[in-house]
Chains A and B, each alone.
Chain A
Amino acid sequence: SQQGEEDPQALSIQEGENATMNCSYKTSINNLQWYRQNSGRGLVHLILIRSNEREKHSGRLRVTLDTSKKSSSLLITASRAADTASYFCATRKETSGSRLTFGEGTQLTVNP
């Protein structure tokens, strides 16, 4: 089974609103990453947060990590129609070497 599970599975919002996606995982990790995927394309890396970090920002993105709850959230502020995509969290476990394990993803639709 996948290490990460995203919630919600699908999210539909209006342009300008904020979008929050959550990710839960099961085992201890070295880092957690968020990726974005447009339909029919490969994934694009958005942001990486290490296990000793609690919050990270990159432009309109804010990621939090709570290792005690084994969860992370991705916040996209002031969303745009171009943010419409699937968003995946991925974890690198402490014991898995270089393997990156992806969750099921959240499909975000931003309506203009």
Chain B
Amino acid sequence: DTGVSQDPRHKITKRGQNVTFRCDPISEHNRLYWYRQTLGQGPEFLTYFQNEAQLEKSRLLSDRFSAERPKGSFSTLEIQRTEQGDSAMYLCASSLSARGSGSPLHFGNGTRLTVT
């Protein structure tokens, strides 16, 4: 399977704990995105990377969230001191940068986080 893969699929954690999610993009894609989605809502942009550089970060992203893409391949998203409001589906997507007006995103199946 050469699609975007995310691990784990589900994570249940207690409030105050730290969690880390991993995303493996499509291998030739240089852009990687993280989104958060709550039930009944559209995906909300968190951050994106071009290669290993984090080029944009949402103002909604608190300092408890950090994302890395150390070698320009896989990425991790860490949430420190989790809160119940962090419960959501965390989606990763990748794409190829393209000249002109953009290229589509390829999404993984997400990591569903439940904070108890």
Residues of A within 8 A of B21 (CB): none
Q: Tell me whether A92 and B101 are in contact (CB under 8 A).
A: yes
Q: Tell me whether A42 and B104 are in contact (CB under 8 A).
A: no
Contact residues on B (Cβ < 8 Å of other chain), bracket: 20 to 34
Residues of A within 8 A of B106 (CB): 45
From residue 29 to 47 of chain A, which have CB atoms closer than 8 A to chain B? 30-31, 33, 35, 40-45
Quick one: given A88-B43, A105-B42, are A42 and B110 in contact (CB under 8 Å)? Answer: yes
Q: Tell me whether B105 and A43 are in contact (CB under 8 A).
A: yes
Quick one: given A42-B4, A88-B42, are A98 and B55 in contact (CB under 8 Å)? Answer: yes
Give the docked Cα–Cα distance between A31 and B31 (Å): 17
Give the docked Cα–Cα distance between A33 and B107 (Å): 14
Q: Which of B40, B41, B97 contacts A98 (CB 8 A)?
A: B97
B91 at the interface (CB under 8 A from A): yes
Q: Tell me whether B43 and A99 are in contact (CB under 8 A).
A: no
Residues of B within 8 A of A92 (CB): 101-102
Q: Tell me whether A99 and B102 are in contact (CB under 8 A).
A: no
Q: Which of A43, A44, A51 contacts B43 (CB 8 A)?
A: A43
Task: Name B97's closest neighbour in chain A (CB-CB).
Answer: A98
Quick one: given A42-B4, A42-B110, A43-B43, are A48 and B105 in contact (CB under 8 Å)? Answer: no
Quick one: given A98-B50, A100-B33, are A31 and B101 in contact (CB under 8 Å)? Answer: yes
Residues of B within 8 A of A105 (CB): 40-42
B45 at the interface (CB under 8 A from A): yes
Task: Name B45's closest neighbour in chain A (CB-CB).
Answer: A99
Residues of A within 8 A of B55 (CB): 97-98
Sort A-B residue pairs by CB-CB distance and give the 9 closest, nearest first: A42-B107, A102-B42, A45-B104, A30-B101, A31-B101, A43-B107, A42-B109, A102-B43, A92-B102
Q: Can you report 7 A-B residue pairs in the complex whose CB atoms are below 8 A from each other? A: A33-B105, A42-B4, A43-B93, A92-B101, A98-B102, A99-B56, A102-B35
Which residues of B does A touch, CB under 8 Å? 4, 31, 33, 35, 40-45, 48, 50, 55-56, 91, 93, 95, 97, 100-110, 112
